[in-house]
Structure 1
């Protein structure tokens, strides 16, 4: 079935008040968390299956009011003239790009992530014209696509320098609250201009800079996976109190992904080769960031020393979970200087983390996207691109109503290995 998406001409949505568009813009120096991600873009897709009145116009008006509070997002990047090339965000109030669109069918007629409809995602968001964001580009691009049934999809693309996933979720929550009639966001926004954070650990900065660099794309297939709730509960029960605190959904799901993928690639690789696991971790609690902090505050953790493919593939699932938990527990120490020497992956070896045997995991559980509500209820599903095309990656625990488990979007195996992966996953059910 061919789906035709018709887009309006892009327009700039500016903050609604003059105070948010000063004659002389404030320049806010970005933090060490922001800088490695500068000029890389991320996209999210929010699927709302309940209609609201004029969704594009409703969201556009509320977005303008929200930008009064999220002033960095309405600004532009400025590159410093000094040797360090310091980056700032000029709070110019120039606004964000907005597109209203319509789709030629009902939402029920498309399966957004299944072939051939995976290509439809490109039509449901505005993309930056270059491979990376340019200095003059808006820091956020938004598209609202209304389907013939009244359902709509909100596509959000942003320059990662200005916010992480939690930050964009805070913005969308505020837009929803203002669309529903609130006077101001319930959580006051806080930025890197308002709160000084410790430096991002060097290993995390090196990994993030490499990930958003010019690595060669690899041919991996898209998979839309659900890890059943029964599987997650069984893993939690098996671990009991062995970890000192209950096993989390993220730990259980990531362990299943890591082990199933290792079992699939083991016949095609040296089983004694290391199988690195790298995952993004929200550092807000570790560094004491305020509740409404929307600038980047994510670090990157490595399970170190990395186990071999065989150890992950043939070990007990409890042992795999323990490796993940151990790495998570090391994260706070990296901000105090106590844990840097204990990380056995030195900076010169960062490139070893980007081979076919590695796995990069991001979790969208509890980022706040599930709370977005423009007046018709929260999203039926939140989607994204699984990760940089240059690395084997997956995004776990995406909000998804009615899946009966944890939704995972992955891009970490060749197409011919997809069936073997699903067979391994079925062994856990």
Structure 2
């Protein structure tokens, strides 16, 4: 079987159409929250889901299109368009223009993608279409969906989401509603809640917390990643590798979460590979879901952005020269900073400072989607074989972020896929550092689970 990264196939796409709500919906303007309205969210998130088919002969494109139209009756703001009011304030014009939708067919089977489906995906530009003008944040569809039938009867569902509308949790809530409606439900099991005013700035706004993710840092040594020599790879960490990392920590740190340990490990290896000057500051930005941080918690159906990216700051020398436990404590401290007051302060900062973007100089951002539920979305063909980020690189700086994606093998064991994008020489050193720490038996008897598996590179 050919490896995924050498796979080439053709996709035949129908002309894009606009799917509107199945019933009339309110015509109104809805303001985004000040958390939604951050400059760094004005882009499209690519997500992709792979599904096996069945022998019923049902058409997934038709079922999903109908489910989408019915779900939009409840999630009608997604059928609208973003406008800017004075001060660049984003609002949704709920005008029922519709969601962009394309049905397609590809001359490839699921099995040809190999045993482990993962980013970077072959022919991704064929599976996530690009309608001219559709990638503008304003006056464009807020969702762009393509359903691609495969020769084996399976299909691929791909979507671009305007990030200002929802975070990963909100998108999964919408997709599950589409799946429920496609399977015949009369209403989503979780009704959507707008209430974006819950995450607006206070009056008057006041910054009460430290937000190191927005520190002003000059790129005096040109450390931002070049765009012409980037190496995109995915690595898989099974329970065996996580056990190796955990066992290397002092006993009192071994109770730390998988996310905390893995993030500390990847951040440290990545920083060593970059070979920064020891006195230079480096940053870790952790995406933290803040829904449960509020008292009372945000409503269950809230589908707006409700996350922060607190920053851990240290010098490159301290991070690289200290044991892994040093990085681990920094990760845990950053996560713990996210409270209701932190979120209020973040909304206030957004207004006071004019929507600043997070600092990218010597920064590393981690987004954990393993518990969000992308793989649980069921359009009528069961759970996805793969569900999550379509690419490991987003935004203008592809080397900024890594995504954690849940992976299941045929035996049902769960592992974590980690996407990494680095300049080619840095990637070589990163891989060497991983293998130096996660040592396995001699190469002649090495088993996959004894070291991190490089799944693919492009």
- TM-score, normalised relative to structure 2: 0.79
Structure 2 residue 14 is matched with structure 1 residue 4: no
| Cα distance in 2 for residues equivalent to 1:250 and 1:155 | 26
Does 1:47 find its partner at 2:50? yes
Offset at 1:192?
3.3
Indicate which of 305, 312, 329 corresponds to 1:322.
Answer: 329
Q: Residue by residue, what CA displacement relative to the aligned partner does 1:349-395 show, whole Å, maximum 9, x if unpaired?
A: x889322x321211112122122011222111123222324152333
Measured after TM superposition, the shift of residue 318 of structure 1 is: 2.0
Alignment of 1:71-220 (within 5 A): 71-80=76-85, 82=86, 84-110=87-113, 118-127=121-130, 129-130=132-133, 132-193=135-196, 196-199=198-201, 207=214, 218-219=227-228, 220=230
Q: Provide the C-alpha distance between the structure 2 equivalents of 1:192 and 1:239, rounded to a whole number of angstroms.
A: 44
Distance, in Å, in 2 between the alignment partners of 1:167 and 1:392 is: 25
For 2:113 and 2:161, locate their aligned partners in 1 and report how far apart those are by CA, in whole Å: 25
Deviation at 1:236, TM superposition (A): 4.4
Helix, strand or coil at the partner of 1:154 = strand
Matched, 1:259 2:261: no
For the 8 Å contact 1:396–1:406, the answer to whether it is kept is no
Listed one character per residue, the Cα deviations across residues 218-241 of structure 1 (whole Å, up to 9, x for unaligned) are: 342111111221232344466688
Given candidates 51, 60, 63, the residue that maps to 2:65 is 60
- Equivalent residue number for residue 407 of structure 1: 417
- Unaligned residue ranges in structure 2 (runs of 5+): 1-6, 218-223, 439-450, 452-458
Give the superposition deviation at 1:130.
Answer: 4.9
* Other-structure match for 2:34: 32
Aligned pairs, number: 402
Contact 2:133/2:140 (<8 A) preserved: no
Aligned equivalents of 1:8, 1:352: Cα separation in 2:
39
| CA deviations over 1:310-350 (Å, ceiling 9, x no partner) | 32223222221111000111111423659x99xxxxx89x8
The corresponding residue for 2:366 is 361
Q: 2:23 aligns with which of 1, 17, 21?
A: 17
2:309 to 294, 300, 320: 300
CA contact (8 A) 1:277 1:358 kept: yes
Matched, 1:285 2:292: yes
Once residues 97 and 164 of structure 1 are traced to their aligned partners in structure 2, the CA distance between those partners, rounded to angstroms, is: 19
SS of 2:288's equivalent in the other structure is strand
2:214–2:358 CA contact under 8 A, matched in 1? no
Partners of 1:2 and 1:238 lie apart in 2 by 42
Task: Report if the CA contact (8 A) 1:7-1:99 is conserved.
Answer: yes
In 1, Cα distance between equivalents of 2:164 and 2:380: 30
Residues 205-252 of structure 1: CA deviation (Å, up to 9, x unaligned) = 9859x9xxxx99634211111122123234446668846x94222212
Give the Cα–Cα distance (whole angstroms) in 2 for the partners of residues 352 and 30 of structure 1. Answer: 20
Structure 1's unaligned 5+ residue stretches are 342-346
2:343 aligned to which of 313, 335, 345? 335
Distance 2:73 2:177 in 1: 11
Selected match of 2:391 from 374, 385, 389? 385
